[in-house]
Protein backbone atom coordinates (compact mmCIF):
# COMPACT_ATOMS: atom_id res chain seq x y z
CA UNK A 1 0.00 0.00 0.00
CA UNK A 2 1.39 3.36 -1.11
CA UNK A 3 1.78 6.03 1.52
CA UNK A 4 2.71 9.67 1.21
CA UNK A 5 6.15 10.62 2.50
CA UNK A 6 6.20 12.05 6.00
CA UNK A 7 7.10 15.52 4.66
CA UNK A 8 4.05 15.53 2.35
CA UNK A 9 1.77 14.43 5.17
CA UNK A 10 3.18 17.17 7.37
CA UNK A 11 2.64 19.81 4.66
CA UNK A 12 -0.96 18.73 4.23
CA UNK A 13 -1.50 18.86 7.98
CA UNK A 14 0.01 22.35 8.12
CA UNK A 15 -2.26 23.56 5.33
CA UNK A 16 -5.32 22.15 7.09
CA UNK A 17 -4.20 23.75 10.33
CA UNK A 18 -3.69 27.11 8.61
CA UNK A 19 -7.10 26.83 6.99
CA UNK A 20 -8.78 26.10 10.32
CA UNK A 21 -6.86 28.93 11.97
CA UNK A 22 -8.04 31.28 9.22
CA UNK A 23 -11.63 30.27 9.92
CA UNK A 24 -11.27 31.31 13.54
CA UNK A 25 -9.74 34.71 12.75
CA UNK A 26 -11.59 37.92 13.46
CA UNK A 27 -11.96 38.91 9.77
CA UNK A 28 -13.36 35.50 8.90
CA UNK A 29 -15.79 35.77 11.81
CA UNK A 30 -16.98 39.17 10.56
CA UNK A 31 -17.50 37.85 7.04
CA UNK A 32 -19.30 34.77 8.32
CA UNK A 33 -21.62 36.87 10.50
CA UNK A 34 -22.40 39.77 8.16
CA UNK A 35 -21.23 38.83 4.64
CA UNK A 36 -21.65 35.02 4.45
CA UNK A 37 -22.20 35.03 0.69
CA UNK A 38 -18.46 35.75 0.36
CA UNK A 39 -17.47 32.41 1.86
CA UNK A 40 -20.46 30.08 1.76
CA UNK A 41 -20.88 29.17 -1.90
CA UNK A 42 -18.29 27.67 -4.23
CA UNK A 43 -20.35 26.97 -7.38
CA UNK A 44 -22.68 29.15 -9.40
CA UNK A 45 -25.55 26.70 -9.06
CA UNK A 46 -25.47 27.19 -5.29
CA UNK A 47 -27.07 30.61 -5.84
CA UNK A 48 -30.16 29.38 -7.69
CA UNK A 49 -33.34 27.74 -6.47
CA UNK A 50 -35.20 24.83 -8.01
CA UNK A 51 -38.91 24.17 -8.02
CA UNK A 52 -41.86 25.99 -9.53
CA UNK A 53 -43.09 29.44 -8.58
CA UNK A 54 -46.53 30.15 -7.12
CA UNK A 55 -48.92 30.44 -10.06
CA UNK A 56 -51.57 32.52 -8.30
CA UNK A 57 -49.17 35.15 -6.95
CA UNK A 58 -47.55 35.48 -10.38
CA UNK A 59 -50.97 35.82 -12.01
CA UNK A 60 -52.00 38.65 -9.69
CA UNK A 61 -48.71 40.48 -10.33
CA UNK A 62 -49.05 40.21 -14.12
CA UNK A 63 -52.73 41.27 -14.12
CA UNK A 64 -52.04 44.30 -11.92
CA UNK A 65 -49.01 45.24 -14.04
CA UNK A 66 -50.99 45.15 -17.29
CA UNK A 67 -54.08 46.90 -15.90
CA UNK A 68 -51.84 49.46 -14.20
CA UNK A 69 -50.04 50.23 -17.45
CA UNK A 70 -53.31 50.66 -19.35
CA UNK A 71 -54.81 52.94 -16.72
CA UNK A 72 -51.59 54.96 -16.37
CA UNK A 73 -51.66 55.60 -20.12
CA UNK A 74 -55.33 56.53 -20.06
CA UNK A 75 -54.73 58.94 -17.18
CA UNK A 76 -51.54 60.47 -18.59
CA UNK A 77 -51.90 61.06 -22.32
CA UNK A 78 -53.59 64.47 -22.02
CA UNK A 79 -50.96 65.78 -19.62
CA UNK A 80 -48.17 64.22 -21.72
CA UNK A 81 -49.47 65.85 -24.89
CA UNK A 82 -49.73 69.26 -23.24
CA UNK A 83 -46.42 69.20 -21.33
CA UNK A 84 -44.19 66.91 -23.41
CA UNK A 85 -45.85 67.31 -26.84
CA UNK A 86 -46.11 63.53 -27.03
CA UNK A 87 -49.22 61.69 -25.84
CA UNK A 88 -47.22 58.49 -25.46
CA UNK A 89 -44.40 60.03 -23.40
CA UNK A 90 -45.20 58.34 -20.08
CA UNK A 91 -46.56 55.20 -21.69
CA UNK A 92 -43.40 54.47 -23.66
CA UNK A 93 -41.17 54.98 -20.64
CA UNK A 94 -43.36 52.91 -18.33
CA UNK A 95 -43.66 50.11 -20.93
CA UNK A 96 -39.88 49.80 -21.21
CA UNK A 97 -39.45 49.70 -17.44
CA UNK A 98 -42.27 47.18 -17.14
CA UNK A 99 -40.65 44.79 -19.61
CA UNK A 100 -37.27 45.17 -17.89
CA UNK A 101 -38.94 44.76 -14.51
CA UNK A 102 -40.75 41.57 -15.48
CA UNK A 103 -37.47 40.11 -16.76
CA UNK A 104 -35.75 41.17 -13.53
CA UNK A 105 -38.58 39.64 -11.51
CA UNK A 106 -38.03 36.30 -13.22
CA UNK A 107 -34.27 36.41 -12.65
CA UNK A 108 -34.70 37.34 -8.99
CA UNK A 109 -37.25 34.55 -8.57
CA UNK A 110 -34.54 32.05 -9.55
CA UNK A 111 -32.26 33.12 -6.69
CA UNK A 112 -32.22 31.12 -3.47
CA UNK A 113 -33.81 33.03 -0.56
CA UNK A 114 -30.78 32.46 1.65
CA UNK A 115 -28.81 34.63 -0.79
CA UNK A 116 -31.18 37.48 0.08
CA UNK A 117 -30.41 36.84 3.74
CA UNK A 118 -26.70 37.02 3.05
CA UNK A 119 -27.11 40.32 1.19
CA UNK A 120 -29.27 41.99 3.84
CA UNK A 121 -26.45 43.89 5.54
CA UNK A 122 -24.97 45.11 2.24
CA UNK A 123 -28.40 46.30 1.00
CA UNK A 124 -28.95 48.11 4.32
CA UNK A 125 -25.56 49.82 4.22
CA UNK A 126 -26.15 50.79 0.58
CA UNK A 127 -29.57 52.26 1.40
CA UNK A 128 -28.13 54.37 4.22
CA UNK A 129 -25.39 55.64 1.92
CA UNK A 130 -27.94 56.63 -0.74
CA UNK A 131 -30.16 58.36 1.82
CA UNK A 132 -27.21 60.48 2.94
CA UNK A 133 -25.93 61.05 -0.60
CA UNK A 134 -29.26 62.37 -1.88
CA UNK A 135 -29.19 65.07 0.81
CA UNK A 136 -25.71 66.14 -0.29
CA UNK A 137 -26.12 65.89 -4.04
CA UNK A 138 -29.82 65.72 -5.00
CA UNK A 139 -31.22 65.85 -8.52
CA UNK A 140 -33.22 69.06 -8.79
CA UNK A 141 -36.60 68.68 -10.51
CA UNK A 142 -37.84 71.95 -12.11
CA UNK A 143 -40.59 73.40 -9.96
CA UNK A 144 -39.75 71.06 -7.06
CA UNK A 145 -36.36 72.42 -6.00
CA UNK A 146 -37.22 72.12 -2.29
CA UNK A 147 -37.48 68.32 -2.57
CA UNK A 148 -34.31 66.25 -2.20
CA UNK A 149 -35.73 62.87 -3.16
CA UNK A 150 -34.00 61.94 -6.41
CA UNK A 151 -30.53 60.87 -7.57
CA UNK A 152 -29.55 61.10 -11.22
CA UNK A 153 -28.49 57.64 -12.37
CA UNK A 154 -26.88 58.66 -15.65
CA UNK A 155 -25.51 62.22 -15.87
CA UNK A 156 -27.21 64.34 -18.51
CA UNK A 157 -30.38 62.22 -18.57
CA UNK A 158 -33.75 62.39 -16.85
CA UNK A 159 -33.37 58.85 -15.49
CA UNK A 160 -33.48 59.14 -11.72
CA UNK A 161 -34.12 56.99 -8.68
CA UNK A 162 -35.46 57.59 -5.19
CA UNK A 163 -33.24 56.19 -2.41
CA UNK A 164 -36.38 55.86 -0.29
CA UNK A 165 -37.51 53.04 -2.60
CA UNK A 166 -34.33 51.12 -1.74
CA UNK A 167 -34.73 52.02 1.94
CA UNK A 168 -38.17 50.39 2.10
CA UNK A 169 -36.71 47.08 0.99
CA UNK A 170 -33.67 47.57 3.23
CA UNK A 171 -35.83 47.93 6.35
CA UNK A 172 -37.66 44.70 5.53
CA UNK A 173 -34.47 42.75 4.75
CA UNK A 174 -32.54 44.06 7.75
CA UNK A 175 -35.36 43.38 10.23
CA UNK A 176 -35.99 39.92 8.79
CA UNK A 177 -32.26 39.06 8.98
CA UNK A 178 -31.71 40.45 12.45
CA UNK A 179 -34.93 39.09 13.93
CA UNK A 180 -34.16 35.60 12.69
CA UNK A 181 -30.79 35.79 14.47
CA UNK A 182 -32.27 37.29 17.66
CA UNK A 183 -35.46 35.26 17.94
CA UNK A 184 -34.77 34.13 21.51
CA UNK A 185 -33.49 37.54 22.61
CA UNK A 186 -36.59 39.28 21.30
CA UNK A 187 -38.84 36.89 23.22
CA UNK A 188 -36.95 37.35 26.51
CA UNK A 189 -35.41 40.83 26.49
CA UNK A 190 -37.82 43.78 26.21
CA UNK A 191 -34.91 46.16 25.65
CA UNK A 192 -34.49 44.74 22.12
CA UNK A 193 -37.29 47.11 21.12
CA UNK A 194 -34.98 50.10 21.58
CA UNK A 195 -32.48 48.80 19.02
CA UNK A 196 -35.10 48.45 16.30
CA UNK A 197 -36.70 51.75 17.28
CA UNK A 198 -33.32 53.47 16.84
CA UNK A 199 -32.80 51.92 13.39
CA UNK A 200 -36.28 52.96 12.26
CA UNK A 201 -35.80 56.47 13.68
CA UNK A 202 -32.54 56.98 11.75
CA UNK A 203 -34.09 55.90 8.45
CA UNK A 204 -37.26 57.96 9.00
CA UNK A 205 -35.17 61.00 9.94
CA UNK A 206 -33.12 60.80 6.75
CA UNK A 207 -36.23 60.35 4.59
CA UNK A 208 -37.98 63.27 6.29
CA UNK A 209 -34.91 65.43 5.62
CA UNK A 210 -35.62 64.86 1.91
CA UNK A 211 -38.91 66.74 2.40
CA UNK A 212 -40.68 63.42 1.89
CA UNK A 213 -43.44 63.17 4.49
CA UNK A 214 -45.27 60.31 2.79
CA UNK A 215 -42.08 58.26 2.63
CA UNK A 216 -41.45 58.94 6.31
CA UNK A 217 -44.94 57.76 7.28
CA UNK A 218 -44.56 54.64 5.15
CA UNK A 219 -41.11 53.81 6.59
CA UNK A 220 -42.36 54.25 10.14
CA UNK A 221 -45.42 52.06 9.59
CA UNK A 222 -43.32 49.43 7.81
CA UNK A 223 -40.78 49.38 10.64
CA UNK A 224 -43.51 49.03 13.26
CA UNK A 225 -45.10 46.19 11.29
CA UNK A 226 -41.77 44.35 11.01
CA UNK A 227 -41.17 44.58 14.76
CA UNK A 228 -44.67 43.24 15.36
CA UNK A 229 -44.22 40.37 12.92
CA UNK A 230 -40.79 39.68 14.42
CA UNK A 231 -42.21 38.98 17.85
CA UNK A 232 -41.82 42.18 19.89
CA UNK A 233 -44.22 41.95 22.83
CA UNK A 234 -47.77 43.16 22.24
CA UNK A 235 -47.75 45.45 25.28
CA UNK A 236 -45.54 47.91 23.40
CA UNK A 237 -48.10 48.29 20.63
CA UNK A 238 -50.97 48.84 23.04
CA UNK A 239 -49.10 51.70 24.70
CA UNK A 240 -48.01 53.19 21.35
CA UNK A 241 -51.51 52.91 19.81
CA UNK A 242 -53.10 54.58 22.83
CA UNK A 243 -50.58 57.43 22.76
CA UNK A 244 -51.04 57.92 19.01
CA UNK A 245 -54.84 57.93 19.26
CA UNK A 246 -54.71 60.48 22.08
CA UNK A 247 -52.33 62.70 20.09
CA UNK A 248 -54.57 62.61 17.01
CA UNK A 249 -57.65 63.54 19.07
CA UNK A 250 -55.80 66.45 20.64
CA UNK A 251 -54.65 67.72 17.24
CA UNK A 252 -58.16 67.53 15.82
CA UNK A 253 -60.08 68.91 18.82
CA UNK A 254 -57.62 71.46 20.21
CA UNK A 255 -56.77 74.16 17.61
CA UNK A 256 -53.78 75.67 19.52
CA UNK A 257 -52.14 72.23 19.82
CA UNK A 258 -52.82 71.60 16.15
CA UNK A 259 -51.22 74.91 15.17
CA UNK A 260 -48.15 74.24 17.31
CA UNK A 261 -47.70 70.76 15.81
CA UNK A 262 -48.10 71.99 12.23
CA UNK A 263 -45.54 74.75 12.85
CA UNK A 264 -42.98 72.01 13.55
CA UNK A 265 -43.42 70.66 10.03
CA UNK A 266 -42.06 72.25 6.90
CA UNK A 267 -44.35 74.70 5.07
CA UNK A 268 -45.24 72.22 2.30
CA UNK A 269 -46.47 69.44 4.61
CA UNK A 270 -47.98 71.85 7.12
CA UNK A 271 -50.05 73.67 4.51
CA UNK A 272 -51.51 70.42 3.19
CA UNK A 273 -52.46 69.19 6.65
CA UNK A 274 -54.04 72.54 7.46
CA UNK A 275 -56.01 72.50 4.20
CA UNK A 276 -57.23 68.97 4.94
CA UNK A 277 -58.31 69.76 8.50
CA UNK A 278 -59.94 73.07 7.59
CA UNK A 279 -61.60 71.65 4.44
CA UNK A 280 -60.22 74.39 2.21
CA UNK A 281 -62.12 74.35 -1.11
CA UNK A 282 -60.58 77.47 -2.67
CA UNK A 283 -59.49 76.96 -6.30
CA UNK A 284 -55.84 77.75 -5.58
CA UNK A 285 -55.68 76.09 -2.15
CA UNK A 286 -53.45 73.23 -1.04
CA UNK A 287 -56.46 70.90 -1.17
CA UNK A 288 -56.98 71.47 -4.89
CA UNK A 289 -55.80 68.01 -5.95
CA UNK A 290 -58.00 66.19 -3.45
CA UNK A 291 -61.04 68.28 -4.43
CA UNK A 292 -60.55 67.49 -8.12
CA UNK A 293 -60.00 63.82 -7.29
CA UNK A 294 -63.31 63.72 -5.41
CA UNK A 295 -65.05 65.27 -8.41
CA UNK A 296 -63.57 62.50 -10.57
CA UNK A 297 -64.65 59.75 -8.19
CA UNK A 298 -68.17 61.16 -7.96
CA UNK A 299 -68.42 61.49 -11.74
CA UNK A 300 -67.60 57.80 -12.21
CA UNK A 301 -70.76 56.52 -10.61
CA UNK A 302 -71.32 52.78 -10.57
CA UNK A 303 -69.85 51.74 -13.93
CA UNK A 304 -67.74 54.77 -14.92
CA UNK A 305 -67.60 57.02 -17.93
CA UNK A 306 -65.66 54.44 -19.95
CA UNK A 307 -61.97 53.84 -20.58
CA UNK A 308 -60.34 57.02 -21.87
CA UNK A 309 -63.39 59.21 -21.21
CA UNK A 310 -62.30 60.96 -18.03
CA UNK A 311 -62.95 64.69 -17.94
CA UNK A 312 -60.91 65.48 -14.84
CA UNK A 313 -57.65 64.39 -16.47
CA UNK A 314 -57.99 67.32 -18.88
CA UNK A 315 -55.69 69.50 -16.79
CA UNK A 316 -57.97 69.56 -13.73
CA UNK A 317 -56.17 66.90 -11.65
CA UNK A 318 -52.47 67.90 -11.70
CA UNK A 319 -50.20 65.09 -12.95
CA UNK A 320 -52.89 62.39 -12.88
CA UNK A 321 -50.37 59.74 -13.95
CA UNK A 322 -48.72 59.79 -10.52
CA UNK A 323 -50.29 60.00 -7.07
CA UNK A 324 -53.88 60.56 -8.25
CA UNK A 325 -54.13 57.90 -10.95
CA UNK A 326 -56.70 56.02 -8.84
CA UNK A 327 -59.08 58.97 -9.14
CA UNK A 328 -59.04 58.56 -12.92
CA UNK A 329 -59.53 54.81 -12.46
CA UNK A 330 -62.67 55.52 -10.43
CA UNK A 331 -63.97 58.02 -12.98
CA UNK A 332 -63.45 55.79 -16.02
CA UNK A 333 -64.17 52.35 -14.53
CA UNK A 334 -66.64 53.39 -11.85
CA UNK A 335 -67.18 51.85 -8.45
CA UNK A 336 -67.29 48.32 -9.87
CA UNK A 337 -63.95 48.61 -11.69
CA UNK A 338 -62.23 50.31 -8.75
CA UNK A 339 -63.59 47.66 -6.38
CA UNK A 340 -62.26 44.84 -8.57
CA UNK A 341 -58.80 46.44 -8.61
CA UNK A 342 -58.84 46.68 -4.81
CA UNK A 343 -59.84 43.00 -4.70
CA UNK A 344 -56.82 42.16 -6.86
CA UNK A 345 -54.54 43.94 -4.39
CA UNK A 346 -56.16 42.10 -1.48
CA UNK A 347 -55.68 38.76 -3.26
CA UNK A 348 -52.05 39.60 -4.01
CA UNK A 349 -51.27 40.48 -0.39
CA UNK A 350 -53.27 37.55 0.94
CA UNK A 351 -51.50 35.08 -1.35
CA UNK A 352 -48.19 36.55 -0.26
CA UNK A 353 -48.99 35.82 3.37
CA UNK A 354 -49.96 32.25 2.43
CA UNK A 355 -46.51 31.86 0.86
CA UNK A 356 -44.94 33.32 4.00
CA UNK A 357 -46.74 30.81 6.23
CA UNK A 358 -45.31 27.99 4.10
CA UNK A 359 -41.80 29.45 4.00
CA UNK A 360 -38.80 27.30 4.79
CA UNK A 361 -37.40 29.51 7.54
CA UNK A 362 -38.12 32.57 9.66
CA UNK A 363 -36.14 34.96 7.47
CA UNK A 364 -38.06 34.02 4.33
CA UNK A 365 -41.39 34.32 6.14
CA UNK A 366 -40.59 37.78 7.53
CA UNK A 367 -39.20 38.93 4.17
CA UNK A 368 -42.37 37.98 2.29
CA UNK A 369 -44.71 39.36 4.94
CA UNK A 370 -42.79 42.64 5.04
CA UNK A 371 -42.86 43.07 1.26
CA UNK A 372 -46.56 42.23 0.98
CA UNK A 373 -47.44 44.47 3.92
CA UNK A 374 -45.57 47.33 2.21
CA UNK A 375 -47.55 46.87 -1.02
CA UNK A 376 -50.86 46.67 0.84
CA UNK A 377 -50.11 49.65 3.07
CA UNK A 378 -48.90 51.82 0.20
CA UNK A 379 -52.04 51.02 -1.80
CA UNK A 380 -54.30 51.76 1.17
CA UNK A 381 -52.56 55.08 1.89
CA UNK A 382 -52.77 56.15 -1.76
CA UNK A 383 -56.50 55.41 -1.87
CA UNK A 384 -56.97 57.20 1.46
CA UNK A 385 -55.29 60.32 0.04
CA UNK A 386 -57.29 60.25 -3.19
CA UNK A 387 -60.56 59.94 -1.26
CA UNK A 388 -59.62 62.73 1.18
CA UNK A 389 -59.49 60.36 4.16
CA UNK A 390 -55.96 61.52 5.05
CA UNK A 391 -53.97 64.62 4.00
CA UNK A 392 -52.27 64.66 0.63
CA UNK A 393 -48.82 63.26 1.34
CA UNK A 394 -47.72 62.40 -2.20
CA UNK A 395 -47.62 58.60 -2.00
CA UNK A 396 -47.72 56.56 -5.21
CA UNK A 397 -49.93 53.60 -6.07
CA UNK A 398 -48.08 50.33 -6.75
CA UNK A 399 -48.24 49.10 -10.37
CA UNK A 400 -50.34 52.12 -11.43
CA UNK A 401 -48.38 55.32 -10.76
CA UNK A 402 -45.81 56.46 -13.30
CA UNK A 403 -42.22 55.91 -12.18
CA UNK A 404 -39.74 53.57 -13.81
CA UNK A 405 -37.27 52.91 -11.00
CA UNK A 406 -40.02 52.45 -8.41
CA UNK A 407 -41.67 49.91 -10.74
CA UNK A 408 -38.36 48.07 -11.12
CA UNK A 409 -37.94 47.92 -7.34
CA UNK A 410 -41.52 46.72 -6.90
CA UNK A 411 -41.17 43.93 -9.47
CA UNK A 412 -37.81 42.95 -7.97
CA UNK A 413 -39.57 42.56 -4.61
CA UNK A 414 -42.25 40.46 -6.28
CA UNK A 415 -39.43 38.29 -7.60
CA UNK A 416 -38.21 37.77 -4.02
CA UNK A 417 -41.65 36.56 -2.98
CA UNK A 418 -41.72 34.17 -5.94
CA UNK A 419 -38.23 32.91 -5.02
CA UNK A 420 -39.48 32.04 -1.54
CA UNK A 421 -42.50 30.33 -3.08
CA UNK A 422 -40.19 27.93 -4.94
CA UNK A 423 -38.71 26.55 -1.73
CA UNK A 424 -42.00 26.81 0.15
CA UNK A 425 -43.66 24.69 -2.49
CA UNK A 426 -40.81 22.17 -2.46
CA UNK A 427 -41.04 21.82 1.29
CA UNK A 428 -44.78 21.24 1.05
CA UNK A 429 -44.32 18.48 -1.57
CA UNK A 430 -41.58 16.75 0.39
pLDDT in tens, the chain (430 residues): 455 554 554 455 555 555 554 555 555 566 565 556 555 655 666 677 778 889 999 999 999 999 999 999 999 988 888 888 888 888 998 999 999 999 999 999 999 998 999 899 999 999 999 999 988 888 776 666 667 788 887 766 667 788 888 999 999 999 999 988 887 777 677 677 788 889 999 999 999 888 887 888 889 889 888 988 887 776 666 767 777 777 767 766 666 766 666 666 655 566 666 666 666 666 666 677 788 888 889 888 899 999 988 888 887 887 788 888 999 999 999 999 999 999 999 999 999 999 999 998 899 999 999 999 999 999 999 999 888 887 777 788 999 998 888 899 999 999 999 999 998 765 544 4
CB atoms within 10 A of CB 189: 11
Reduced 3-state DSSP string for 122-144? HHHHHHHHHHHHHHHCCCCCCCC
CA–CA separation, 229 and 372 (whole Å): 12
Contact (CB, 8 A) for 37 and 124? no
Q: Based on the number of CB atoms within 10 Å of its own CB, is 93 exposed (0-12), middle (13-18) or buried (19 or more)?
A: middle
CA–CA separation, 185 and 190 (whole Å): 8
CA–CA separation, 291 and 285 (whole Å): 10
Contact (CB, 8 A) for 273 and 258? no
Q: Where are the domains of the chain?
A: 117-396
Amino acid sequence: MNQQPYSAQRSAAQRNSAREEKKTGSWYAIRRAYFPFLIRREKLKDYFAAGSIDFWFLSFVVILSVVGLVMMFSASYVNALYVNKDAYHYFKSQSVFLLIGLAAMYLVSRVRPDVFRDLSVIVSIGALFLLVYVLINPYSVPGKEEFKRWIEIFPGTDITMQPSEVAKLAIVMFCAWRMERDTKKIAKDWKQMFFYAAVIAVVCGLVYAENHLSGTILMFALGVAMTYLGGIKMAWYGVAASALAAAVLVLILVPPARTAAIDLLDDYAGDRITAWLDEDYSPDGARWQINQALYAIGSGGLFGTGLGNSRQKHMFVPEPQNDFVFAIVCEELGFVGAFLIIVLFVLLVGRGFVIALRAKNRFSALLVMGICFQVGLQTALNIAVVTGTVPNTGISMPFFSSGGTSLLMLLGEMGMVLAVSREAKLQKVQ
